[in-house]
Structure 1
Amino acid sequence: MTTDAEFVPSWVYSMADYCQMFDLSESDLEFAILDYPAGISSFNAEMFQQGYKVHSGDPNYNMSLVELTSFSKTILDKNVEHLKAHEEILRDSTALDRIVSDWEESRTTFLKDYEQGKFESRYQMMMLPRLPFDDQQFDIALCSDHLFHNHTAHKCQQEGVITELCRVAKEVRVFPLMNEQGDIAESLGQVMLECQQKGYAIEIKQVAFHQLKGGNAMLRIWATTCAVENA
């Protein structure tokens, strides 16, 4: 469970949010997609309802539905409390009630799908340092974790998360790129440099999702060479 000392403010995303913040086109939705760490996003549930399939991984997916219901309520309440205390980070402070309502709806949609999704292996418990997938098994890996917050644990795992996602997917998309203060994270430049040194192409791309001030950019990382299988 997450303690107060470990709590890192986050967002509760829907499929519409994902399509905006990761600039997902209709053709992208047909690809093999990994969402890690997926948290209590309703992306997988909504994609499944529309006939698509997503693999969602998270260290907390070993929990039962009862446990995750309680855990997610605690996380949601902490995020709401944080957002209400820092309304100045919102582009539109009058949108606070709507945002909270959207979060609650996404959480409910996720929980309703959780047990069936676990049975179908759409939700899997997984964690670093190695995810249970082959090299470049996915076309796209999505990371909506707040990697660039100044929290010590997140600083330590930035490179590890991105490196492992680059192993299992041909392209990685990361959102958001801000720290807690709403500024572009100082560590972003170092992460981008390390990706380039490993031979990856990178791009910072403006996206349609723009709930937070300055928070409308994602990082794209993709391999410039194709993996060749030995005969």
Structure 2
Amino acid sequence: MSFDDKKSRSLTPVFERPAVAFFGRSLAEYVQFFDLDVDALRGRSVLDVAAGPSSFTAEARRGGVEAVAVDPLYARNPADLERQVAQDYEHMFERMRTGQNSGRFRFKSFASVDEAEADRRRAAKRFLGDFAAHREHGRYFGAALPKLPFLDGAFDVVLCAHLLFIYPALFDFAFHLAACRELMRVARDEVRIHPVCGADGQPYPQLGDLIGELGESGVEAREVPVDYEFFAGATTMLVLRPG
């Protein structure tokens, strides 16, 4: 995921760095942490928000899903994104392997950090190829929450992973509320957000307030368990639907 602000304050949770990394995952991981049925999505429109170099859109498109991705860094050219991937992946996996961080991981989907790195680098490679081929074809948009360049109800399903709640030094409650409302605005059926915890694995402390505020604006929000946990505590998603 990415937030194009390298001057932002550093974070105190596990993965301390000056901004949100340009980091992505494969369709297979999306299926797990969003509890997706790809066959049921065939022919439907799906938006991946703050997608980074995830290969979900490229892979889902090959499976007949009308997938679109949005990220602030998509305004850059393919060569710039390739350099960003190289930089952020080196930084991220170096931190994953430090003694301070190594105990944070739960190897349910991958046997080791090495296996996770190989899978995510393959995903980034698929993304880079697809981005270079289709950036002019309405598949990738350069934009950021809390304002997306799409019409109301433009997508059947909207996904947002590893952005909102894991960066408390960057995004406050007001941003979370505005972002959730914006995600819901462009969704016809539902929004899925993962995880619902900080990078330290602690549950999002204002979830009750967020659910209450969304309810007042006609959005039903509920936390749902998923059969996935890469870092400790990342075991749920937040599902938003019209109330």
Q: Which residue does 2:57 correspond to in 1?
A: 44
**How much has 1:213 moved relative to structure 2?**
2.1
2:124 to 82, 101, 107: 107
1:124 to 109, 126, 141: 141
1:192 to 206, 211, 223: 211
Of residues 111-120 and 44-53 in structure 1, the stretch that sits farther from structure 2 once superposed is: 44-53
Report percent identity of matched pairs. 27
Q: Which residue does 1:161 correspond to in 2?
A: 179
2:105 to 75, 90, 95: 90
Structure 1 position 152 matched with structure 2 position 169:
yes
Task: For 2:167 and 2:69, locate their aligned partners in 1 and report how far apart those are by CA, in whole Å.
Answer: 25
Find the residue that maps to 2:106 and give its secondary structure: coil
Of residues 4-13 and 192-201 in structure 1, the stretch that sits farther from structure 2 once superposed is: 4-13
- Cα contact 1:8–1:151 (8 A) shared by 2: no
Task: For 2:34 and 2:42, locate their aligned partners in 1 and report how far apart those are by CA, in whole Å.
Answer: 11
Q: What's the C-alpha RMSD, in Å, of the aligned pairs? A: 2.0
Find the residue that maps to 2:103 and give its secondary structure: helix
Find the residue that maps to 2:171 and give its secondary structure: helix
TM-score normalised to structure 2 length: 0.85
- Distance 1:108-1:182 versus aligned 2 partners, 3 A rule: same
Q: Which residue does 2:6 correspond to in 1?
A: 3
Structure 1 position 13 matched with structure 2 position 32:
no
- Cα contact 2:45–2:65 (8 A) shared by 1: no
Q: Return 5+ residue gaps in structure 1 as ranges.
A: 225-231
Q: Which residue does 2:223 correspond to in 1?
A: 204
Runs of 4+ in 1 over 4 A off after TM superposition: none
Structure 1 position 24 matched with structure 2 position 42:
no
- Distance 1:64-1:189 versus aligned 2 partners, 3 A rule: same
Paired letter, 1:3: K
- Distance 1:95-1:10 versus aligned 2 partners, 3 A rule: farther
1:141 to 158, 177, 186: 158
Find the residue that maps to 2:47 and give its secondary structure: strand
- Distance 1:82-1:187 versus aligned 2 partners, 3 A rule: farther
- Cα contact 2:43–2:65 (8 A) shared by 1: yes
Paired letter, 2:164: L
Of residues 143-152 and 171-180 in structure 1, the stretch that sits farther from structure 2 once superposed is: 143-152
Task: For 2:198 and 2:146, locate their aligned partners in 1 and report how far apart those are by CA, in whole Å.
Answer: 23
Task: For 2:22 and 2:105, locate their aligned partners in 1 and report how far apart those are by CA, in whole Å.
Answer: 13
Q: Return 5+ residue gaps in structure 2 as ranges.
A: 11-17
TM-score normalised to structure 1 length: 0.89
Task: For 2:208 and 2:20, locate their aligned partners in 1 and report how far apart those are by CA, in whole Å.
Answer: 22
- Distance 1:150-1:121 versus aligned 2 partners, 3 A rule: closer
Task: For 1:161 and 1:196, locate their aligned partners in 2 and report how far apart those are by CA, in whole Å.
Answer: 15
Of residues 90-99 and 35-44 in structure 1, the stretch that sits farther from structure 2 once superposed is: 90-99
Find the residue that maps to 2:36 and give its secondary structure: coil
**How much has 1:11 moved relative to structure 2?**
5.5
**How much has 1:44 moved relative to structure 2?**
0.6
Q: Deviations over 1:81-119 (max 9, x none)?
A: 221121111113951110111111111111011122212
Q: Which residue does 2:82 correspond to in 1?
A: 69
Paired letter, 1:20: Q
**How much has 1:144 moved relative to structure 2?**
0.6
